[in-house]
Amino acid sequence: MKPIEQQVVVITGASSGIGRAVALAFARRQACLVLAARNEVALEQVARDVERLGGRALVVPGDVSQWQQVARLADTAIARFGRIDTWVNNAGINEHAPVADMTIEEIERIIQVDLMGYIYGMKAALAPMRRQRQGTIINVASIVSLRAAPLHAPYVAAKHGIAGFTEALRMELMHEKMPVQLTMVMPSFIDTPLFLNSRSRLGVQPRPVPPVYAPEAVAESVLFAAEHARRDIIVGGQGALVALLQKISPALLDKLMVAGGLMFRTQKTDKPDNGYDNLFQPTPGTGSVTGAWTDESLPYSWYTRHVEHYPERKLAVLGALGCATWLLLRSRGRTTG
């Protein structure tokens, strides 16, 4: 894989949150960036920031739910820079509501943007990368790709769909010995405007479930994946724990998430909803990287940096956790025995 300084990188959803943090992180490494989202004003601001940090930027406004617009994004990147080294699928929307309260139109829109948008991105990136016989597609999925959470079922379905599509495509590429890398980056809960942009039928403003991480923690993993071939990277230790529990007992995890209304309470603030969402139109203004939880957000995940980025260490960590649990249980047995 090329050093980031020599890469041409396409980023969808670059006007806000994680995508914007990813763009700025690539810019600090002097990459050539192609920035996509619907809000052109915000993208132009990101482009100025990218250039100020030492990168090069091309703004291509568009809606990822439209195949023609995603295909045009790839064509424009190739016309300007001659190749695409890394394609980051990241644009996303959400709605917080029980399924019973969602309309079919809302459900279809979320699937169209959050799943079809990623599939279009993979299709659009694949053609030039196959010609080049080189490239990396990074799908910013979610921990809910591995384990569902209530109150945003279509989003969860889309993220599960990304995992399935990515896995199937990866095997096809392996089968034909095509050196195109596919990586899923799966964040836990991140302090971005996603929760302010979400359509809410909870009666209150939704929020990320603590512990919350800064968008830069995800950007770090996306940049890592652009230089190191990895299958998937979970961002945040809490996400890794959920993934482990899901492997051990999904039924137990159902009970834990519902017990005392855990995953229902923790996704709500006590503030009224802002009455705004970006399902069918972009967020106005110049946008931002962070949401409303910067005070409580962790700058990075130690677990992700030291374990997820180096999966060969996972067994050692699991072994250490197993030993610690055994020692704890043994000492408790002694004191009670």
Ligand X SMILES: NC(=O)c1ccc[n+]([C@@H]2O[C@H](COP(=O)([O-])OP(=O)(O)OC[C@H]3O[C@@H](n4cnc5c(N)ncnc54)[C@H](OP(=O)(O)O)[C@@H]3O)[C@@H](O)[C@H]2O)c1
In order of 121, 171, 174, 278, the CA distances from 117 in angstroms are 6, 21, 24, 15
Residue of 25, 59, 140, 153 interacting with ligand X (CB under 6 A)? 140
**Residue located via tokens 């439209």:** 66
Residue of 92, 121, 154, 161 interacting with ligand X (CB under 6 A)? 92
| Contact call for residue 282 and ligand X (CB under 6 A) | yes
Rounded Cα distance, 95 and 110, in Å: 8
| Contact call for residue 19 and ligand X (CB under 6 A) | yes
Rounded Cα distance, 9 and 6, in Å: 10
Least separation in angstroms between CB 223 and ligand X: 15
| Contact call for residue 187 and ligand X (CB under 6 A) | yes
Residues 6+ apart with CB under 8 A from 275: none
SS3 string, 81-149, reads HCCCCEEEECCCCCEECCHHHCCHHHHHHHHHHHHHHHHHHHHHHHHHHHHHCCEEEEEECCHHHCCCC
| Contact call for residue 238 and ligand X (CB under 6 A) | no
Alpha helices, DSSP H, located in 140-278: 153-175, 194-197, 215-227, 237-248, 250-258, 262-265
Enter the DSSP assignment of 182: E
For ligand X, the closer CB: 64 or 146:
64
Residue of 113, 116, 137, 156 interacting with ligand X (CB under 6 A)? 113
Question: CB nearest ligand X: which residue?
Answer: 17
| Contact call for residue 15 and ligand X (CB under 6 A) | yes
For ligand X, the closer CB: 55 or 208:
208
Least separation in angstroms between CB 15 and ligand X: 4
Q: Give me Rg for the CA atoms of the chain.
A: 20
Specify the stretch interacting with ligand X by CB under 6 A; choose among 57-65, 169-177, 245-253, 260-268. Answer: 57-65
Q: Are 55 and 33 in contact (CB under 8 A)?
A: yes
Least separation in angstroms between CB 314 and ligand X: 21
Number of residues near ligand X (by CB under 6 A): 32
Specify the stretch interacting with ligand X by CB under 6 A; choose among 25-33, 75-83, 84-92, 254-262. Answer: 84-92
| Contact call for residue 236 and ligand X (CB under 6 A) | no
Residues 6+ apart with CB under 8 A from 255: none
155 is catalytic: yes
Q: What are phi and psi of 66, to 5 degrees?
A: -110, 115
| Contact call for residue 91 and ligand X (CB under 6 A) | yes
Residues in contact with ligand X by CB under 6 A are 12-13, 15-19, 37-39, 42, 63-65, 90-93, 113, 140, 142, 187, 189-190, 192-194, 197, 208, 278, 282-283
- The residues carrying an active-site annotation are 155
